[in-house]
Amino acid sequence: MAWALSCLPAMLMATPVDGSPVQRAIAQIDAGHFKAAESDISKALAQPGLPGESREALLFQRERMRRILLDFTLDTDAAKARVRKQVPDLTDAEFARWDQQGLIEHQVIDGRTLYFKRAPSNLFLLSPEAAARRTHPVPSSDSPLESISDHHREARREALATHRSSVTPNHVRVTETVTVRADAVPAGETIRAWLPFPRELAGQQEGVRLVDSQPDGAQVAPVDTLQRTAYMEKKAQAGKPTTFAVTYELTVYAQYHDIDASKVVPTTITPELAPYVAERAPHIVFTDDLRAYSRKVVGDEKNPYRIAQKLFAAVDQIPWAGAREYSTISNISDYTLHAGHGDCGEQTMLLIALLRLNGIPARWQSGWIFSDGKYENIHDWGQLYLAPYGWVPMDVTFGQLHPAKGDDPALQWFYLGGLDAYRIAFNSDFSQPFVPNKQFFRSETVDSQRGELEWRGGNLYFDQWDYDFTWQLLPPARAASATR
């Protein structure tokens, strides 16, 4: 979006500085002053009587610097070389112009310009000009459900005909496998693993059943765990990868709410809803820039559904791009607003912040999406509360659909009040504790979709292991007997 790109120089400067060592470190890191941050962190850690919480927070800021440097690995020549693989006659002036427009994400760290490792490929998603210069266009990697389909039509038809909001179920068996690389952990040491596991959500996904785990005896977190996992342990063997796997079955429903704006009224904020209109630092903060953006988009609109439509449409216009690790970002909603691009979680967090700012309760969901073909991916979306309809789904990354000739125009807003039956929710909130608790820093401090691993020597970061999902759709009768 033009508004967001015009604010790019302020991109990482929204963290308030309250004078504490932790906040000073955050601000220094966001500004790219890593050496100064490390010096101040070391001094603070050496102070007697430092509270344990502050110590952990400072140690994480040190870890955050390490993770940023794993994401920002390209110098200028390397970034140009990556772009030239797609644009062989790229000129230095052309690269510089795209860079100045904020289309090639970089940070200046201790005086050295470093580019995000996915910035060269993101460029072609953010710039139509750059995409047109590509010698070999790349096929779209979007989900087939990001375009209107018979599934959307059928879900709406069935919901209207039956007056039910949960329709067209899919019965699915899924296996996730996590593989820790050989010798990432010394032989004989126990690796602890948390693999994401579906929540039981009435009307959205039901009949969740653990089928198998490797090793046996996975400990599935209680049904009320907001970021649900299956926990396992296994000893590492010399020269061999360590594998964990979990298989489960469940029934997933499409959802569709036929929302009439004239019936939507302002929500009475009860104690149960109050957390969902509140700020929640560090990623949901009502900054001055967020307020200004909201005023620009919402204008004088008062109807909550119309406000939601305006905000949904505005965030939908922010182009998707591959994201740096969330744990490296000090405020995701602010980052997305100023960067002018974002992946599904970044877009969702920004929309949640904007809805809450306008008094509309909003909350997080995330998990994994698939199709009846070969497509699958981890994904984030959310829910908003509209009286008198209650909680309804939203997926701003799938965004507004484009009805074909003969389609009902209401299908445009399918993903503001509706959801397909090709996704599994592991999480109903972000940054929530695991069961059992993790002892060391998480690799993903916000979401939980790939898994988490550690041993007594510390956390195992994403560069030390891989994950994979496989799945099959089950016949309804088989799934029904399996889940009874």
Core vs surface per residue 362-379: b (16+ CB within 10 A) or e: bbbbbbbbbbeeeebebb
Q: What are phi and psi of 321, to 5 degrees?
A: -150, 150
373 pLDDT tier (thresholds 50, 70, 90): confident
For residue 239, with 0-12 CB atoms within 10 Å meaning exposed, 13-18 middle and 19 or more buried, which class applies?
A: exposed
Residue 97: pLDDT above 60? yes
Q: How confident is the model at residue 142 (pLDDT cuts 50, 70, 90)?
A: confident
What confidence tier does 483 reach under pLDDT thresholds 50, 70, 90? very low
The mean pLDDT of 372-398, rounded to a whole number, is 96
Q: Looking at residue 139, what is its pLDDT?
A: 80
Tell me the C-alpha distance between 99 and 113, whole Å.
11
Contact of 114 with 74, CB cutoff 8 Å: yes
pLDDT of residue 222: 98
Q: Is the pLDDT of residue 12 over 80?
A: no
* Lookup result for tokens 């899924």: 174
Average pLDDT of the residues of the chain: 94
CA angle 311, 287, 32 (to 5 degrees): 115
Q: What pTM did the predictor assign? A: 0.94
Highest mean pLDDT of the ranges 4-13, 129-138, 384-393: 384-393
Q: Using alpha carbons only, how large is the chain's radius of gyration in Å?
A: 23
Q: What's the confidence (pLDDT) of residue 476? A: 80
For residues 231 and 436, the answer to whether their CB atoms sit within 8 Å is yes
Q: Which own/partner contact pairs does 347-351 have at CB distance under 8 Å and 24+ positions apart?
A: 347/315, 347/316, 347/318, 347/320, 347/396, 347/397, 348/380, 348/381, 348/382, 348/396, 348/397, 349/283, 349/284, 349/430, 350/315, 350/318, 351/311, 351/312, 351/315, 351/382, 351/394, 351/396
What's the pLDDT score for residue 480? 45
345 secondary structure, DSSP code:
H
Output the pLDDT for position 18.
61
Please check the confidence at residue 452 and state whether its pLDDT lies above 80: yes
Query: Residues 283, 333: contact at Cβ < 8 Å?
Result: yes
Q: Which residue has the tokens 């305006």?
A: 310
Q: Using CA atoms, how far apart are residues 374 and 370, in angstroms rounded to an integer?
A: 8
pLDDT tens column, 332-343: 999 999 999 999
Token pair of 374 as six digits = 């070969």
Report whether 358 contacts 307 (CB < 8 A). yes
123 has a pLDDT exceeding 60 = yes
Q: Which of 173, 175, 174, 164 is nearest to 254 (CA)?
A: 164
Beta carbons within 8 Å of 301's beta carbon, 6+ residues apart: 307, 310
374 falls in which pLDDT band (50, 70, 90)? confident
Distance CA 331, CA 39 (A): 23
> Residue 49: left if φ>0, alpha if ψ -120 to 50, beta else—which one?
left
Digit-coded pLDDT (tens) for 288-333 = 999 999 999 999 999 999 999 999 999 999 999 999 999 999 999 9
The arithmetic mean of pLDDT across residues 33-60, rounded, is 97
Residue pair 231/221 in contact by the 8 Å Cβ criterion: yes
